[in-house]
């Protein structure tokens, strides 16, 4: 193993992936080569050899940059589990491998969905290191995962499988609570590093958005279950410390995915939340998923997801399970806020047709709209304690 100095210009010229966003470019000062077995989370500088299924790379700001042969990219080593795309694992050396996720994950493809082309081929030039020649890894830049109490209302979202509608359901919950005046965190707790889901939750009103890369993992596939559990609880606690009152936490993939099943069997997670909303593709999946969640001790507030695109599928699911089946529009309107908060008289109303912010009746505290009005001075400026309203991706350490 040897380390050579890496210029700031070479770092700046590379297309940097979303998964690396917590690592300052100023720390990328050496290139480490040799007989090295990479670890999950190691940053790697690679060159694009052949364009495949991923023709663009998602950058830290969310922009998807087109890739061309010969481009240098900065990504992370990580494993991937995606039934609709690839299964991939980290290799034993720095030999050629694939870009298996647009968010910036390098690994060796094991299998793929038949609709997918072969993944984009990349050749690692070396691991990125600091000025002392030490390998940079995401776990060095993650949030504090020390166990601690979090004073925050938490609801989980799980589903039957990939693309069951979990993210849209999560974003809809975020929107409903945000409209009700709550400061909401949108959290993607497991999966493969990509910004799409947290950008959507941000666009739907989340004040803070976080994912497992903030906990130091480019992907949660094949990570130790106790580390994933600590990561999820740490993200929730971090959101509470940032002043969020509600956390909407999405769990990736389906109930039979190994890490998802281990996480949902966790009594710590169950006791840290009010319950769960379940996204399903059809009535049979909803019924089977609900039975599994009941066996694991979860309270399920409602069904949602892809099945709500069909009134007939909704009717079947309602008859089969006996629990509410809600569309995204109903969730966005706040229909689940009351049940999740444990308030039977929770009511969300618009102030009037010309205003976007609602008010909440039967709540003792001021709504977000009322707080804004209270802090506006007669000349239209905000008071000294006013916080920015724009949601942001957390970069806090």
CB contact at 8 A, 175 and 235:
no
- For residue 165, what is the domain's CATH number? 3.40.50.300
Separation of alpha carbons 320 and 316, rounded Å: 6
Same domain, 57 and 97: yes
Query: Does 277 lie in the same domain as 169?
Result: yes
Domain that holds residue 187: 153-344
Q: Based on the structure, what is the number of domains in the chain?
A: 2
DSSP state of 134: P
> Whole-angstrom Cα distance, residue 4 to residue 19?
24
* Whole-angstrom distance, CA of residue 29 vs CA of residue 25: 8
Are 194 and 314 in a shared domain? Answer: yes
Q: Is residue 195 situated within a structural domain?
A: yes
Tell me which long-range contacts 285-290 makes (C-beta under 8 A, separation of at least 24). 285/160, 285/161, 285/164, 286/160, 286/317, 286/320, 286/321, 286/325, 287/317, 287/320, 287/321, 288/160, 289/158, 289/159, 289/160, 289/255, 290/321, 290/323
Q: Are residues 166 and 301 in the same domain?
A: yes
Domain boundary among 114, 140, 166: 140
pLDDT given at position 344: 63
Is residue 92 a part of any domain in this protein? yes
Does 205 share its domain with 103?
Answer: no
Same-domain check for residues 118 and 208: no
Answer whether residue 20 is part of any domain: yes
60 and 165 together in one domain: no
Q: What is the pLDDT of residue 386?
A: 32
Please check whether residue 253 is in contact with residue 190, taking contact to mean a CB–CB distance below 8 angstroms. yes
- Does residue 117 form part of some domain? yes
Same domain, 99 and 25: yes
Choose one of 328, 344, 360: the last residue of a domain: 344
Domain assignment present for 233: yes
The reply to whether 379 falls in a domain is no
Give the whole-angstrom CA distance, residue 254 versus residue 385: 43
Check whether residue 196 and residue 334 sit in a common domain.
Answer: yes
The answer to whether residue 381 is domain-embedded is no
Q: What angle do CA 29, 35, 38 make, to 5 degrees?
A: 65
Query: What local confidence, expressed as pLDDT, does residue 385 receive?
Result: 35
Asked if 199 and 334 sit in the same domain, the reply is yes
Blockwise average pLDDT, block size 10, the chain, 397 residues: 96 98 98 97 99 98 98 99 95 98 98 96 99 98 93 98 96 98 98 96 98 98 98 98 98 96 97 98 98 98 98 98 98 97 66 39 42 43 36 42
* 305 located within any domain: yes
Q: Are residues 81 and 223 in the same domain?
A: no
Do 214 and 74 lie in one domain? The reply is no
Examine the fold and report which residue of 140, 171, 198 is the final residue of a domain before the chain moves on. 140
């Amino acid at each position: 193993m040897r380390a050579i100095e890496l210029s700031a210009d070479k770092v700046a010229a590379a297309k940097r992936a979303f998964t690396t966003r917590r690592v300052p470019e100023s720390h990328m000062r050496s290139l480490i080569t040799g007989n090295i077995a990479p670890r999950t989370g190691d940053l790697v500088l690679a060159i694009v050899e052949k364009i495949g299924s991923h023709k663009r790379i998602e950058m830290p700001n969310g922009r998807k940059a087109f890739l061309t042969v010969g481009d240098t990219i900065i990504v992370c080593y990580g494993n991937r589990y995606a039934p609709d795309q690839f299964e991939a694992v980290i290799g034993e050396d720095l030999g050629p491998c694939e870009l298996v996720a647009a968010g910036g994950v390098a690994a060796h493809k094991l299998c793929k969905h038949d609709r997918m082309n072969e993944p984009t081929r990349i050749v690692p030039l070396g691991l990125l290191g600091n000025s002392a020649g030490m390998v940079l890894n995401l776990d060095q830049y993650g949030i504090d995962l020390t166990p601690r109490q979090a004073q925050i209302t938490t609801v989980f979202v799980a589903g039957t499988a990939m693309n069951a509608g979990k993210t849209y359901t999560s974003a809809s919950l975020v929107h409903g609570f945000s409209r009700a005046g709550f400061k909401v965190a949108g959290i993607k707790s497991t999966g493969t590093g990509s910004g799409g889901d947290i950008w959507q939750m941000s666009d739907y009103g989340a004040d803070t958005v976080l994912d497992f890369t903030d906990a130091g993992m480019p992907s949660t596939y094949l990570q130790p279950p106790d580390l994933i559990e600590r990561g999820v609880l740490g993200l929730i606690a971090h959101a509470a410390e940032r002043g969020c009152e509600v956390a909407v936490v999405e769990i990736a993939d389906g109930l039979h995915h190994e890490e998802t099943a281990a996480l949902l069997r966790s009594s710590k997670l169950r006791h840290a939340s009010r319950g769960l909303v379940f996204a399903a593709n059809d009535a049979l999946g909803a019924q089977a998923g609900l039975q599994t969640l009941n066996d694991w001790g979860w309270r399920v507030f409602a069904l949602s997801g892809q099945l709500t695109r069909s009134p007939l599928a909704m009717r079947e699911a309602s008859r089969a399970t006996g629990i509410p089946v809600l569309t995204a529009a109903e969730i966005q309107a706040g229909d689940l806020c009351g049940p999740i908060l444990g308030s039977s008289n929770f009511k969300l109303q618009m102030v009037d047709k010309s205003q976007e912010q609602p008010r909440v009746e039967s709540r003792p505290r001021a709504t977000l709209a009322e707080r804004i009005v209270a802090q506006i001075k007669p000349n239209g400026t905000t008071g000294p304690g006013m916080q920015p309203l724009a949601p942001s991706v957390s970069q806090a350490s």
